[in-house]
Structure 1
Amino acid sequence: MMKRSLSRTVFIYFFVVILFSLSTVGFFSYLESSRAIDEQVEKYVTQVINNALLQTDNHLKTFERLSNSILSQQIVKRFLDMDPEDSYEYYRFQNEVRKNVLQKIFITYPTQINMIYILGYHGRSIFDDNQNFSANTVDPSDRLRELIEKTPEQGEIAIMNTSLLEKDQGHVITIARKIRGYNSYAVKGILAIEIKDQPLTSLWSTVDLGEQGFFFILNDNGNVVYAPETDRLGDVLQTDISQRVQEGNERFIRNVRGEPMMFVSRKSGYSGWSLVVSLPVKELRAPISSIRSTTIAVGIVTLVVALFLAVRFGRSIVRPLRHLRESMRETEKGNWSSISGEAREDEIGGLIHSYNVMVSRLSEMIERVYRAELREYKTQLELQNIQLERQRAEFQALQLQINPHFLYNTLETINCYAIVQDSDDISEMVAAMAYMLRYSIQTNLEEITIANELNHVRNYMMILKHRIGREFEIDVIVPPKLLLEKTVRLTLQPIVENIFQHAFADGIEPHHFVCIDARKEDGYLQITVEDNGVGIEAEKLRQLQERLRRNRLADTAEETEPYKRGGIGLINVHRRIQMVYGDEFGIRIESTRDFGTKIMMTMPL
């Protein structure tokens, strides 16, 4: 009874635990798999539509640019202004337009263009040579009225799936736009380019949507522009799908022949066409059904195997206990037989074995914990090294952020001097510019002297003199004994540049000045740059000082920060000083509106 009871209990517990685990895992795995498949299908369909939409728009934009090149030809505009009664002049314009404009286009796009024609309001028309048409054999009046109605008045293009000739209907796409004359701004005619739909058909036919899925395109009137050869299209168009697409519904389900179909659409803002993908819901759910069937089958097999193992496991537990019970009964009878230590299978042997297993596993766990701690320590070291490398890279990147607009403006000034006059000023500017470039592009972390920085400012002032058209002297009252003190590269010049861009933003007046000073104070080196410009508003100054305190190198694009645009920026200079000397050093700013600004850089001696 004991063996049967214990075995049954173990079996029931195992059955409940295994069944619950398999059911829970299978249920949530099925839900998660279904959700993941739905997301993947939707992403795939969206990507297919977006790619097809993008490539279609790019193809049509190519011919819009082509129409721009035709409209820019003076011969075309002059043709629209000609006297329609002058047959000789019409003949001359017709030959020149075909030879100098249309034939070049057909050479470039020999297989893509079906026809190009220009319809003038004065009754004269020019057709492309490839079609061998003339105004005497084709009456374009109906086509002209249609295009006048459908093309915008301001010269924008209109995209249609109609043609001049009946035989080309349904096989070409027309890009049309109004043309203005040469002598006035009034509209004098219409340019139409009929392109073959074969390139677009080849593009759209490559879309793989499974066995029953297909892809079609509707214009802004709900008419079919493209559709594959499928017997389901007629049933689809008989429903309200076209109306739903025109209303802007991008994803919906409709029954077609009693079978639910999912429709996903995207509308092109360029052509006005709606690209629609139709997929059977059953085909979309096929992978999910397969997952459900597989999950159930695997669960049943796993349950059977687990129950078999549970029975074996129960017996393996009961057998040692039965042996121990028999030995205890013999002991009760007085048969004091000892159990050999080599073949012991009683509870003591089980406890010893369990203990050994426990010790072995504990040893393995301690070893794993020790190794995990070593890995964590190694990871922390690696992260520290990565952070150090990032700081170095950040320093070099900050040093390379020279304002390109200043260089471009300087080069433009030099170019103007070279064109207007042969002046020694050009040599002076080029020499100063070359020195500034050599000085700026060095990215090593070594410190340089105040004298080097002042020389960099001097070169900048040489160039600025020619840009502003006047001399401006900076007062430098740095004691000679401090000129060889170390500082950080590219700190003074960006501050001076920002002063001229912001402090004197409304122009340099005779009373304006900029003063550079340096002094030792409590074992620190302090360099001061002061101006008497417009100063900084209190709120903006508070924001700037807060960013200096937080070491913020860049904020959102909506922030407007004084003393930042047009140069490397005060925040940049502040951060670079801290990278070299530490966070206790950097820049402080004092400013009063309409009285000027004082910028102080603090560094160790």
Structure 2
Amino acid sequence: MKTRTLSQQIYRYFLIVIVISLSTVGVFTYVQSSRALDRQVLQYMDQMIDSAAYQTDSYLQTYELYSNSFSSNSDVRAFLDIDPNDAYDYYYYSELIKKFARESVTSITTIYRQLNMVYVVGRHGRSVIYDNQNLLFLDPALINKKFDYLMRSTPEKGEIKLLTMSIRKEDEGSVATMARKVRGSQYSDVFQGVVAIEFKLSELAKIWDRVNVGRNGYFFIVDNEGNYIYHPNIGMKEQKLDPSLAERILASGGGPLIESYNGEERMFVSRKSGYSDWNLVASMPMSELRRPVSVIRTTTLAVGLLTLGVALWLASRFGRSIVAPIRDLKESMRETEKGNWQHIDGKGRSDEIGDLIHSYNVMVTRLSEMIEKVYEAELQQQKNALELGQAELERQQAEFQSLQLQINPHFLYNTLETINCYAIVQDSSEITEMVEAMAFMLRYSIQTNLEEITVANELNHVRNYMIILEHRIGRPFEIDVVIPPSLLLEKMVRLTLQPLIENIFQHAFWSGIEPHHYIRIDARKEGGLFLVIVEDNGEGIRPERLAELRRRLELNRLAEQETSGGQKRTGGIGLMNVHRRIQMVFGEQYGLRIESEQGGGTRITMSMPETVRPALRSKE
């Protein structure tokens, strides 16, 4: 399998994190901006249509007031009741209606220029038509035809109806008509005629022309049949809105409608006037609506790519700053394994890696000094072996083996390899934890004398060992400590508890740690002895192997004993070393006792003398 360097993996993970972050932010920003812009555009178009509808309705209400005064005029109602053959009555009332129309129009200046004509058509076939200047006389057949249309189109209860028609053919498409049924002077139940007011759409178009719907957008008005009331770009007489499009616009209920129209995709927003019953529609091309979103997308993409490039450059520099000292540390550890003690230049670094390098340099310095001293002591021991005696020789050998067991370059190298792995997949908190644990173990281990320390010190040493071991095995493991608090300050030999724990992991759980496995540490006083018990439920020890270990413990000798063939026994180094060092400190009657059953776990008991503390005197 192809291996990746640490810098490559850091670079890869940085790339993944940065791309995911930028993509998430970019997509979220783009989607939210698009929605916000769509809402703003739709709100803007709604406001424009509402404003145009309000101004249009206000404009038409002026004509409604004029229509009300005209339809309620007594002369108008009297005209509808005249005999159609009475020429005098026709002339008389025509003049009165003309006079009233002229005076009322001039009094309402807002409609004077926009008024096209006012006319009254009776059921009897006679009509009065005033074009804001003169009375007009049109073809009676045309008048009757228009009268029939008006009677059909206007409401039966006399309400006003707004129509897109004209009594004159040449005015069709350029005017709108406001008409209503009118009763005669007798106020009978039957409507006797129609009063209609025609006004020019060109004046209303001045209001509609001010509606700004973008560069390529436009505003238009259609009636319920799809006939154009107003359109800024086409003539009303020749054009009519596409029936299918008109049906969809009218059925949209005022909501946005996106349709393909004249070869481009456009949005239509409509509003139905409650007064005129016209449909006011604003239309804009989707390309123009989406232009701000396209700018946001392009800007986001450009900024994202620039940010990605800068971030990857920083990631590369960061990776090199992390990997370079770790590589130096790794190479130095390999040289240390060969016996070549090398220091690493850690100047300029004040982070966790700098602390790790400093601890390593301190370790190398002390190890080299101690190894040199040990070698010198060993040479001196060999020269004076006969004079010193067997007991002194064992003490020197015990100290040397304790140093080798506790400060093992292989263990340090494997630990640093684990730190390298954590640097790949996690942040620096795990590295800090392991480095701190390693520093405590080193400081605790390099003191090679067999002085007495407390149980609490040994438990703390085991805790630091477990911190490192848990990261190496890749899973948590808790040791049950059931020692009473009153015994934590009892004296025991340095570096005796941790080798027993390490021995359990190497031999009791050699096939792997399972969820049911446990290690329990207990202590008690019994018969003048202070006992520390380490118990596990691992593989246990075979009977013949257990007998061999007990025999070697009874011989009161260190682990490395030569057989008759000149070979060294290597099994049980840690147990023998701990046992003999306890005897060297406290006496031959103390040490280790092993109880085990194959497949049923192991129980190791350290026996030491009980600490006698002076009794507290009560205050008198």
| TM score, norm. by length of structure 2 | 0.49
Partner deviation per Cα, 1:496-536 (whole Å, 9 max, x = no partner): xxxxxxxxxxxxxxxxxxxxxxxxxxxxxxxxxxxxxxxxx
> What residue is the counterpart of 1:55 in the other structure?
55
Indicate how the Cα distance of structure 1 residues 150 and 66 shifts in structure 2: closer, same or farther if over 3 A, else same: same
Structure 1 counterpart SS, 2:283: strand
Equivalent positions of 1:149-188 (< 5 A) are: 149-185=152-188, 186-188=190-192
Provide the C-alpha distance between the structure 1 equivalents of 2:136 and 2:238, rounded to a whole number of angstroms.
Answer: 39
Indicate how the Cα distance of structure 1 residues 35 and 229 shifts in structure 2: closer, same or farther if over 3 A, else same: same
Q: Does 1:67 align with 2:67?
A: yes
Q: Which of 226, 241, 246 is equivalent to 2:245?
A: 241
Partner deviation per Cα, 1:264-312 (whole Å, 9 max, x = no partner): 3332333222223333233333333333222222211110011112223
Equivalent positions of 1:497-536 (< 5 A) are: none
Equivalent pairs, count? 347
CA contact (8 A) 1:321 1:347 kept: no
Provide the C-alpha distance between the structure 2 equivalents of 1:129 and 1:258, rounded to a whole number of angstroms.
Answer: 44
- Which stretch of the first structure deviates more once superposed, 328-337 or 190-199? 328-337
Max radius of gyration: which structure? Answer: 2
> What residue is the counterpart of 1:144 in the other structure?
147
Structure 1 counterpart SS, 2:162: strand
> What residue is the counterpart of 1:276 in the other structure?
281
What is the Cα deviation at residue 239 of structure 1? 5.8
What is the Cα deviation at residue 130 of structure 1? 2.4
Indicate how the Cα distance of structure 1 residues 17 and 115 shifts in structure 2: closer, same or farther if over 3 A, else same: same
Provide the C-alpha distance between the structure 1 equivalents of 2:182 and 2:22, rounded to a whole number of angstroms.
Answer: 73
Equivalent positions of 1:18-417 (< 5 A) are: 18-108=18-108, 109-128=111-130, 130-135=132-137, 140-185=143-188, 186-229=190-233, 237-238=241-242, 240-247=244-251, 250=254, 251-317=256-322, 345=349
Question: Which residue identity is paired with 1:304?
Answer: G
Indicate how the Cα distance of structure 1 residues 81 and 244 shifts in structure 2: closer, same or farther if over 3 A, else same: same
Provide the C-alpha distance between the structure 2 equivalents of 1:311 and 1:337, rounded to a whole number of angstroms.
Answer: 23
Structure 2 counterpart SS, 1:264: strand
Provide the C-alpha distance between the structure 1 equivalents of 2:307 and 2:321, rounded to a whole number of angstroms.
Answer: 21
CA contact (8 A) 1:324 1:347 kept: no
Provide the C-alpha distance between the structure 1 equivalents of 2:272 and 2:41, rounded to a whole number of angstroms.
Answer: 20
What is the Cα deviation at residue 25 of structure 1? 1.2
Provide the C-alpha distance between the structure 1 equivalents of 2:46 and 2:192, rounded to a whole number of angstroms.
Answer: 43
Provide the C-alpha distance between the structure 1 equivalents of 2:237 and 2:22, rounded to a whole number of angstroms.
Answer: 45
Provide the C-alpha distance between the structure 2 equivalents of 1:144 and 1:46, rounded to a whole number of angstroms.
Answer: 38
Provide the C-alpha distance between the structure 1 equivalents of 2:7 and 2:352, rounded to a whole number of angstroms.
Answer: 21
> What residue is the counterpart of 1:14 in the other structure?
14
CA contact (8 A) 1:173 1:197 kept: yes
Moved over 6 A (4+): 231-236, 319-339
Indicate how the Cα distance of structure 1 residues 248 and 312 shifts in structure 2: closer, same or farther if over 3 A, else same: closer
Question: Which residue identity is paired with 1:287?
Answer: P
Indicate how the Cα distance of structure 1 residues 291 and 272 shifts in structure 2: closer, same or farther if over 3 A, else same: same
Provide the C-alpha distance between the structure 2 equivalents of 1:348 and 1:18, rounded to a whole number of angstroms.
Answer: 25
Structure 2 counterpart SS, 1:152: coil
Provide the C-alpha distance between the structure 1 equivalents of 2:40 and 2:87, rounded to a whole number of angstroms.
Answer: 65
- Which stretch of the first structure deviates more once superposed, 67-76 or 273-282? 273-282
What is the Cα deviation at residue 18 of structure 1? 0.9
Provide the C-alpha distance between the structure 1 equivalents of 2:159 and 2:292, rounded to a whole number of angstroms.
Answer: 47
Provide the C-alpha distance between the structure 2 equivalents of 1:28 and 1:246, rounded to a whole number of angstroms.
Answer: 35
Query: What's the RMSD between the two structures over aligned residues?
Result: 3.8
> What residue is the counterpart of 1:559 in the other structure?
none
The answer for unaligned runs of 5 or more in structure 1 is 353-605
The answer for unaligned runs of 5 or more in structure 2 is 357-620
Question: Which residue identity is paired with 2:117?
Answer: M
CA contact (8 A) 1:98 1:129 kept: no
Structure 1 counterpart SS, 2:155: coil
> What residue is the counterpart of 1:506 in the other structure?
none
Provide the C-alpha distance between the structure 2 equivalents of 1:52 and 1:62, rounded to a whole number of angstroms.
Answer: 16
What is the Cα deviation at residue 326 of structure 1? 10
Indicate how the Cα distance of structure 1 residues 94 and 43 shifts in structure 2: closer, same or farther if over 3 A, else same: same
Indicate how the Cα distance of structure 1 residues 282 and 163 shifts in structure 2: closer, same or farther if over 3 A, else same: same
Indicate how the Cα distance of structure 1 residues 344 and 154 shifts in structure 2: closer, same or farther if over 3 A, else same: closer
Provide the C-alpha distance between the structure 2 equivalents of 1:76 and 1:194, rounded to a whole number of angstroms.
Answer: 17
Question: Which residue identity is paired with 2:118?
Answer: I
What is the Cα deviation at residue 235 of structure 1? 10
> What residue is the counterpart of 2:611 in the other structure?
none
Provide the C-alpha distance between the structure 2 equivalents of 1:295 and 1:324, rounded to a whole number of angstroms.
Answer: 43
Provide the C-alpha distance between the structure 2 equivalents of 1:120 and 1:221, rounded to a whole number of angstroms.
Answer: 28
Percent identity over paired residues: 43
What is the Cα deviation at residue 175 of structure 1? 0.3
Question: Which residue identity is paired with 1:294?
Answer: T
Structure 1 counterpart SS, 2:211: coil
Provide the C-alpha distance between the structure 2 equivalents of 1:236 and 1:120, rounded to a whole number of angstroms.
Answer: 32
Indicate how the Cα distance of structure 1 residues 351 and 336 shifts in structure 2: closer, same or farther if over 3 A, else same: closer
CA contact (8 A) 1:121 1:188 kept: yes
Indicate how the Cα distance of structure 1 residues 264 and 348 shifts in structure 2: closer, same or farther if over 3 A, else same: closer
